[in-house]
Structure 1
């Protein structure tokens, strides 16, 4: 435990950020609905966050290199905190779009700062334990944060203040506990054309994940409210969808390492499509049926990003894995920008049932494309793969490095 202790402040900071970000995503959608925003405008506001996140992924390394980890984190946390409070002062879709864009940019930078800092501190001996703790922090913070909404309530200024307080408190652990700053991270290269040449299927798959999963995170609360769920039930609905993503991550990943990875991608997409179809039929039915449906949807849909990333890495040449990590995150961001905006228009015209109908259509198109790609290109034999499945968070490109297997120690020269 001694080797983990120095990393605890960074892990606590990450937990506060993950919880605050997860709370904000659900709360902003529901509060916007309460303020009279149309579903289309709520989708546009949600897309604003993803636009900012995509921009942040590209430019954050430059900021960290110029001012260092601590200053970058402090400045971005301050801006994100101010943006949260400003949303209460100016209640208008255009203002909220701009403020959510700023928050997306800041959170991309905040996660990149924490995760690059963790990567600089982690060693081969504590890498696996650190990753396990990080995933536990992600799951527990993201789930618990949802229940702050029914506990505090949607109205008033309370939740805006809590989010701003969380962002401010995230500064405390690393400010008081770590007096050093690691070397600035290397510049992350974004070459979207290169990723397409490495794996067209992985590229399309990451876009599809953005189009579907991010749309669920942005508009899932609107769907749940539209079919008559209480605020507590909405929090449960979103929590189940997030938690379920862990259930099949490792079984699917395990078999994807042994079989043609595209077969597992295909099975996951089919499972998500069937679950989405079930949800589109049970919309307006009992809460239990919706909870069951979202559990299976999350279990199959959430691992798709990690599976597509692993497939891209199967075809990547040595030295291209950082490029793949940056590219998959960028293409996911592109899908996450378009998905909420397009789906929100459908919800405005056809009601809450349209959310998962849209999701099923997108997944079915991806299933067709995956089937065609399997006929065009042979699979990489399992024994020739240099890469094994890793369960990835879409927080920053540095999480891929944290999830990487330990690098072999160089033999010491004998004197």
Structure 2
């Protein structure tokens, strides 16, 4: 490990604590809400509130970082996240929980902006690929590991909320005590809501569909498991099966999309998600449900990275890539706001299996629209396509990190990197 990457270890440790605590809390809120007798629609509202806060922070936090710096913003948001976690157990009411989760969404979105823009600015030339890979490993390990704290402490008492708050408090230590130099502030960006649609309707629809479906899976999925008679450990395993599935198929689908019209990979992924949803709609045995969750994650979760690559292929070498990233996050977040509400309403009306009937319907519509676009619009020539990179749906910082390392780490200008001329194709991945 080189000196620069060693210097990033405190940040990666802070990210692990945040990601683990955030993933744990998402499942915990759904399960505890069921224990408290909240309706499925109330759980959907609580989930929608989280993503509304998440979306707001994408725009509000970068100027705040430029004003007071990364460390102060991180400390403030992590403190509020810890307080919010304890409020959830002190005030058990669906409206209070919705308000608290909106604030939590704002906090976590802002915290990811801080960590990822810091990583983006601090990763040295030639190290960005490793930093991105390490960060994705940290993400997968922390989120899956955090889920297994649920059966250890249970969801009915105060202890699991205290443990989650402790994780957020501990994340302050590596950031507060690091001696890293002042990070580069996040880039300024101009948000154009229609930019992504003009470039690639398929990319916009892909980001929207994954927002509509994976938010519902994350927030209503635990209730689906409970309705099937799963205990807390089985629910944790069910949720983790989807996360691990997304990691397993990310590379094969990305490699396929680099070699053929990328829309074929998007069509395969959406079709696979349709079939996985239909399987889960009928499955009852635990092994069948775990397998279905794995398949659902394997096909649905890579859609975001495929959509980003498709948008960049259409953009051209001089495009505003930070603007494209912002558009993707915006469209995803809009879908994630409405996804839990729609899924919750259907589950209340038709039972738990309606959750995956809903995801199959959304992905099926996406597949039909993808075919329509393939008929109406010619593909991007192979020489004009870059490579797919697995992206976290958290901030423009991780998008820029993937972007810059392909350009050789040159200085940035207008949201893109000035690098070797021969790398123009790479920036569109």
| Superposition deviation, residue 79 in structure 1 | 1.0
The whole-number CA distance in structure 1 between the counterparts of 2:255 and 2:56 is: 33
Deviations 1:185-205 (A, max 9, x none): 222332111111111111111
Give the corresponding residue for 1:323. 323
Cα distance in 1, alignment partners of residues 141 and 227 from structure 2: 27
Contact 2:7 2:180 (C-alpha < 8 Å) held by counterparts: no
Q: Report how far residue 184 of structure 1 moved.
A: 1.8
CA apart distance, 1:265: 0.2
Which segment is superposed worse, 123-132 or 256-265? 123-132
Q: Distance in 2 between matches of 1:376 and 1:226?
A: 43
Matches of 2:247 and 2:82, distance apart in 1: 30
Partners in 2 of 1:48 and 1:251 — Cα distance? 34
8 Å Cα contact 1:139-1:243 kept in structure 2: yes
Match of 1:348 in 2: 348
What TM-score does the superposition give when structure 2 sets the normalisation length?
A: 0.93
Which residue of 1 is the match for residue 57 of structure 2?
Answer: 56
SS in 1 for 2:8: helix
Match of 1:94 in 2: 95
- Counterpart position of 1:292: 291
SS at match of 1:248: helix
| Cα distance in 1, alignment partners of residues 407 and 308 from structure 2 | 20
Whether the 8 Å CA contact 2:186–2:397 is kept in 1: the answer is: no
Give me the whole-angstrom Cα distance separating, in 1, the residues matched to 2:224 and 2:2: 46
Structure 2: distance between partners of 1:209 and 1:47: 14
Question: 2:202 and 2:319 mapped to 1: Cα distance?
Answer: 20
Whole-angstrom distance in 2 between the partners of 1:13 and 1:189: 29
RMSD of aligned residue pairs (Cα, Å): 1.2
| Counterpart position of 2:78 | 77
Confirm whether residue 309 of structure 1 aligns to residue 273 of structure 2.
no
Is residue 124–residue 407 contact of structure 1 (8 Å, CA) maintained in 2?
no
Q: Distance in 2 between matches of 1:320 and 1:106?
A: 27
Stretch moving more, 400-409 or 19-28: 400-409
1:368 counterpart residue number: 368
In 2: Cα distance, 1:243 partner to 1:9 partner: 25
Q: Distance in 2 between matches of 1:15 and 1:179?
A: 18
- The equivalences for 1:359-398 within 5 A come to 359-385=359-385, 387-398=386-397
Secondary structure of the equivalent of 1:5?
helix
Report what 2:251 is aligned to.
Answer: 250
Which residue matches 1:216?
217
Whole-Å Cα distance in 1 between the matches of residues 190 and 31 of structure 2? 37
In 2, distance between residues paired with 1:96 and 1:189?
33
Q: CA deviation at 1:179?
A: 5.0
TM-score (norm 1): 0.96
- Whole-Å Cα distance in 2 between the matches of residues 263 and 92 of structure 1? 46
For 1:11-50, what aligned pairs fall within 5 Å after superposition? 11-50=12-51
Question: How many pairs does the alignment contain?
Answer: 408
Runs (5+) with no aligned partner, structure 1:
none
Task: Confirm or deny: 8 A CA contact 2:30 2:223 kept in the other structure.
Answer: yes
- Unpaired segments of 5 or more residues in structure 2? 411-418, 421-429
Extract structure 1 runs of 4+ deviating beyond 3 A. 408-411
